Amino acid sequence: MSAQSPARILLAGAGAIGRLHFREMQECTFCTLSGIVEPAPAGREWAEAAGVPWFADLDTALAHEKPDAAIVATPNQTHRALALRLIEERIVPLVEKPIASTIEDATEIVTASEKAGVPVLIGHHRRHNPIIRTAHEIISRGAPGQLVSVSLMALFRKPDDYFTASWRREPGGGPVLINLIHEIDVIRHLCGEISSVHAVTSNRIRGFEVEDTAAILLRLDNEALVTISLSDCASSPWSWDLQAGEIDSYPAPAAPVTTMVISGTDGSLALPSLDFWSYRGKPDWYEPLTRETTGYRKESPYIAQLRNLCAVSRGEAVPVVDAQEGLSTLRATLAVAESARTGKTVHIPSSQFA
Ligand SMILES: NC(=O)c1ccc[n+]([C@@H]2O[C@H](COP(=O)([O-])OP(=O)(O)OC[C@H]3O[C@@H](n4cnc5c(N)ncnc54)[C@H](O)[C@@H]3O)[C@@H](O)[C@H]2O)c1
């Protein structure tokens, strides 16, 4: 592949997120779809409509072509097998989040990636969002001072027919493993590693085996404390997805609201607005606070993620979120589920994030 030619990307899984990746790829000149792997009959029709080769499984696809990179946008429990097969072929994969459905499967992907020297990207796309990138710069230069508290709301209302698929009504299909994992990844990235987790959950409204609501407390290695309110049955605008404008299928917010506040001894950063509140002089609640807002250049995080995938496949960059990071985020998210199940605080030794 010359530096000018678009990277050829194989897409495994033509479901909701696979189709979003395809739509985003059509906006890019630096990559092109080389084929679709999708066992469902609807996937074949979709590939034909898109004018790209269709394959029923990954082995058949790899027998026919060698793409520059691949996207694994399939159900969680299939991530391990597909990622390992791509690593074996030395094709750089972008594996959708979560990296896998268990720590064991995720560890296998990390080990195979390191052993083969084939980088793996994990689809924690928010780290590619310019809002999160800017927040990271603000926090990294120490503007908030010593972090003390993070407050986060992920409160949204999924439609009832979302739960027609039976796996969404069972443990693993609820908002902790589907949605909270994004928040956990952002917290780890912006604020620091998580050292302990305590959570309570409820299924009172939907009545399924899986939770519909959770209250979560985290302690970070730097001793900052985090509170998270999570619900998929709350009619509310207080959620990143509804506020950040990453996906067109959600309506634009009628009025912007804050979904996350990162507070330190010298100031507080609100997201997604990037409003930073601080005192000009002595920090004192009797003094007026000032607000500064940092601007940023808008870009789809999914396109930025595709750019990273192509650059990594050319050996010109490292993954923004690699397999080890995906494993660490999965570990902390599974700790939330474990704490809710056992009623106990789950401690995460810092060596497990190494
Ligand atoms: N990053 C994000 O914003 C985001 C959003 C939604 C979903 N996801 C993740 O993406 C993955 C897919 O989620 P979805 O909502 O698109 O699911 P989906 O059920 O809509 O689509 C999955 C597709 O994969 C196909 N498939 C199953 N096994 C396959 C295999 N072995 N090879 C190829 N295709 C196979 C299915 O037939 C289906 O069409 C999940 O891991 C999910 O957590 C990420």
Q: Which residues of the chain have pLDDT under 70?
A: 1-4, 351-354
Q: What is the pLDDT of residues 163-182, one digit of tens each?
A: 998 888 988 889 999 999 99
CATH superfamily of 127-299+332-353: Dihydrodipicolinate Reductase; domain 2 (3.30.360.10)
Q: Which of 95, 86, 60, 312 is nearest to 47 (CA)?
A: 60
> What was the pLDDT predicted at 210?
95
Ligand 1 pocket, 38 CB below 6 A? Answer: yes
Angle (nearest 5°) at CA 241 between 228 and 122:
85
Q: Is 14 in the pocket of ligand 1 (CB under 6 A)?
A: yes
Q: Which residues contact 226 (CB under 8 A, 6 or more apart)?
A: 149, 150, 151, 152, 187, 191, 194, 216, 217, 218, 219, 220
Cβ–Cβ under 8 Å, residues 308 and 77: no
Evaluate: CB of 78 within 6 angstroms of ligand 1: yes
Degrees, nearest 5: CA angle 257-162-239: 10
CATH topology of domain 7-126+301-321: Rossmann fold (3.40.50)
Ligand 1 closest atom vs CA 15: 21
Give which of 11, 17, 40 is closest to 98, Cα–Cα. Answer: 17
Peptide bond into 288 cis (omega under 30): no
Question: How many angstroms does the Cα of residue 73 sit away from the middle of ligand 1?
Answer: 4
- Residue from 45, 74, 239 whose mutation best tests the ligand 1 pocket (most atoms within 8 A of CB): 74
DSSP letter (8 states) at residue 322: B
In sequence order, the β-bridge partners of residue 93 are 70
Residues in the chain: 354
* Distance, CA of 32 to CA of 315 (rounded, Å): 18
Q: In whole angstroms, what is the distance from residue 248 CA to residue 27 CA? A: 14
251: left (phi over 0), alpha (psi -120 to 50) or beta: beta
Q: Is the CB of 35 under 6 A from ligand 1?
A: no
The pLDDT assigned to 171 comes to 82
232 lines ligand 1 (CB under 6 A): no
Q: For residue 14, what pLDDT is reported?
A: 94
Our answer on whether the CB atom of 325 is closer than 6 Å to any ligand 1 atom is no
Is the CB of 37 inside a 6 Å radius of any atom of ligand 1? yes
The residues spanned by each domain of the chain are 7-126+301-321, 127-299+332-353
Q: Is 75 in the pocket of ligand 1 (CB under 6 A)?
A: yes
Report the pLDDT value the prediction gives residue 90, as an integer from 0 to 100. Answer: 98
State whether the beta carbon of 119 lies less than 6 angstroms from ligand 1.
no
Q: Give the span between the Cα atoms of 164 and 168, in whole angstroms.
A: 8
Closest-CA residue, ligand 1 atom 31, reads: 78
d(CA 46, CA 270): 41
pLDDT at 4: 65
Can you tell me which atom of ligand 1 is nearest the CA of 165?
A: 19
Residue 37 near residue 13, CB atoms below 8 Å: yes
